[in-house]
């Protein structure tokens, strides 16, 4: 991306001033190298977001931002309903509430070593993953409605987890305001065979070791220490979330025209928050968030079953569960005034700082865990939310490394079989349903995640707590 139009504001913070129909500036977080590597479309899309009614502050781009559907992935924008603000299906994306959940095992790498191959094979057999692969749960109409309203709380009540899990999930495991009636029959039908499944693409299950601690106070609060083994899951609302996006984009495009909103890009379809379509989409999207939370909860139970068989000494507990690809109603202080805003985080993570309401008491002094996903051959990270300049992005941070090349380019450049061998030579056991899928997700297809999180820290979005290194990776 060309940097000439950007004005430096602070370390790793840049501003593109409003031009044309833009109501607010675009603010980028990242160093020169990361910004220069971004596609030009990122600026174009972020500038389009800045034209939407009711936007507050700026259109923000995280250090891992890349081109997406209408709204950049790694984009954050908040809208005020009292100022005609909108909710955008393109601003949430198709993989609603895709997120990361990290689990403690209570084990260290030494305990894992003798059974690592057995554990990798057992996880690969037991965790449903891949395109068209279903799970062992089938929901009737009544159970589907209960799941969409109850999220992870429903899953725990059905026996897929422990009550203590819920305290370590955003919103306590269930987002209020879900409306199953706003979810189409097609979306529910797509979801019926997919509860408790990992999916494909960039979704994964990883067994990781804590390689380094950067913030000992936060690490103690999070229960992390060097050499400990953890498990991370990355997945979302599966076919239900995708179908909701498919259903509402054309409806929102029509609604925008009906409300006199001139869309700079049809993929940025939106509707006023206080409109019939806006309210219905929010109800459907919240149901999809609950679906994703329930899905990750069921997968947690499946992980527990595998560890109970292979490593009975393990005690699987939650570190935390965070969602990306959401629009959440939150209270934020803007220019000294507290306001209710609808914050879109597409490929971005909520990163509440110390003292924020809703955090588990044990995290209150250090801030929310911010879980940054890796790329099967590279590190993942645990960061902590922080107050200060990051509040300018409504307390948000990056969510991963961010793609560097497209999946099509990656599948031409890398071979799945070679990747398995290369990972094995590095001590990483890789299991995948599709060699092409592995090639598309090659570590080289992504940016340097270490550089991304360092830039996030220097920009004041979050601070580094622990670096996680992959030992076993399960892909769809």
Q: Which of 104, 301, 344, 399 is catalytic?
A: 399
From the list 429, 469, 431, the residue with the least C-alpha distance to 115 is 429
> Does 373 belong to an annotated binding site?
yes
Residue pair 325/347 in contact (Cβ under 8 Å)? The answer is: yes
Q: Are strands 337-346 and 317-323 parallel, antiparallel or unpaired?
A: unpaired
> Does 66 belong to an annotated binding site?
no
> Does 30 belong to an annotated binding site?
no
Phi, psi (degrees; rounded to nearest 5) at 151? 60, -135
CA distance 457 to 389: 11
> Does 203 belong to an annotated binding site?
yes
Residue pair 28/9 in contact (Cβ under 8 Å)? The answer is: no
Residues written for the chain: 476
> Does 48 belong to an annotated binding site?
no
> Does 234 belong to an annotated binding site?
yes
Task: Examine the residue annotation and report whether 126 is marked as an active-site residue of this protein.
Answer: no
> Does 206 belong to an annotated binding site?
yes
To which H or E segment does residue 323 belong? strand 317-323
Q: What is the DSSP letter of 263?
A: -
CA distance 89 to 222: 34
> Does 38 belong to an annotated binding site?
no
> Does 399 belong to an annotated binding site?
yes
> Does 401 belong to an annotated binding site?
yes
> Does 375 belong to an annotated binding site?
yes
Residue pair 27/9 in contact (Cβ under 8 Å)? The answer is: yes
> Does 346 belong to an annotated binding site?
no
Residue pair 377/443 in contact (Cβ under 8 Å)? The answer is: yes
CA distance 125 to 129: 9
> Does 233 belong to an annotated binding site?
no
CA distance 102 to 408: 30
> Does 475 belong to an annotated binding site?
yes
Binding-site residues for Mn(2+) sit at: 95, 203, 234, 324
- Residues tagged active-site: 399
Binding-site residues sit at: 95, 202-206, 234, 324-325, 373-376, 380, 399-402, 475
Binding-site residues for GMP sit at: 202-206, 324-325, 373-376, 380, 399-402, 475
């Amino acid at each position: 991306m060309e940097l000439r139009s950007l004005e430096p504001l602070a370390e790793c913070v840049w501003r593109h001033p409003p031009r044309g129909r833009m109501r607010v500036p675009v603010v980028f977080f990242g160093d020169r190298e990361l910004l220069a590597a971004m596609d030009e479309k990122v600026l174009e899309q972020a500038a389009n977001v800045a034209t939407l009614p009711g936007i507050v502050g700026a259109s923000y781009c995280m250090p891992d931002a890349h081109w997406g559907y209408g709204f950049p992935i790694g984009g954050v924008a908040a809208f005020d309903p009292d100022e005609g603000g909108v909710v955008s299906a393109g601003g949430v994306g198709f993989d609603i509430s895709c997120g990361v959940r990290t689990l403690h095992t209570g084990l260290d790498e030494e305990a894992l070593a003798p059974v690592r191959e057995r554990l990798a094979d057992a996880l690969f057999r037991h965790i449903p993953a891949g395109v068209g692969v279903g799970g062992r749960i089938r929901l009737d109409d009544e159970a589907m409605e209960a799941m969409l309203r109850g999220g992870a709380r429903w899953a725990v009540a059905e026996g897929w987890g422990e009550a203590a899990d819920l305290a370590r999930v955003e919103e306590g495991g269930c987002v209020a305001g879900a409306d199953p009636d706003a979810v189409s029959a097609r979306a529910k039908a797509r979801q019926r065979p997919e509860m408790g499944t990992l999916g494909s693409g960039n979704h994964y299950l990883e067994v990781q070791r804590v390689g380094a601690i950067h913030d000992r106070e936060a690490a103690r609060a999070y229960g992390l220490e060097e050499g400990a083994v953890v498990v991370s899951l990355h997945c979302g609302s599966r076919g239900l979330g995708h179908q909701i996006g498919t259903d509402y984009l054309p409806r929102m495009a029509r609604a925008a025209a009906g409300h006199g909103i001139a869309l700079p890009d049809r993929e940025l379809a939106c509707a006023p928050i206080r409109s019939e379509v806006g309210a219905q989409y929010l109800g459907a999207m919240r149901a999809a968030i609950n679906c994703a939370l329930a899905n990750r909860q069921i997968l947690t139970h499946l992980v527990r079953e595998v560890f109970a068989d292979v490593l009975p000494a393990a005690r699987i507990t939650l570190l935390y569960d965070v969602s990306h690809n959401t629009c959440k109603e939150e209270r934020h202080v803007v220019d000294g005034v507290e306001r209710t805003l609808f914050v879109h985080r597409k490929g971005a993570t909520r990163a509440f700082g110390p003292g924020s309401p809703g955090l588990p008491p044990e995290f209150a002094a250090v801030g929310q865990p911010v879980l940054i996903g890796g790329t099967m051959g590279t590190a993942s990270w645990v960061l902590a939310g922080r107050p200060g300049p990051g509040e300018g992005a409504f307390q948000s941070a990056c969510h991963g490394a961010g793609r560097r090349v497209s999946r099509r380019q990656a599948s031409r450049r890398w071979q799945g079989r070679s990747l398995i061998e290369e990972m094995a030579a590095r001590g990483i056991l890789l299991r995948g349903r599709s060699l092409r899928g592995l090639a598309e997700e090659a570590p080289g297809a992504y940016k340097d995640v270490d550089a991304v999180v360092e830039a996030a820290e220097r920009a004041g979005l979050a601070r580094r707590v622990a670096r996680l290194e992959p030992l076993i990776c399960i892909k769809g």
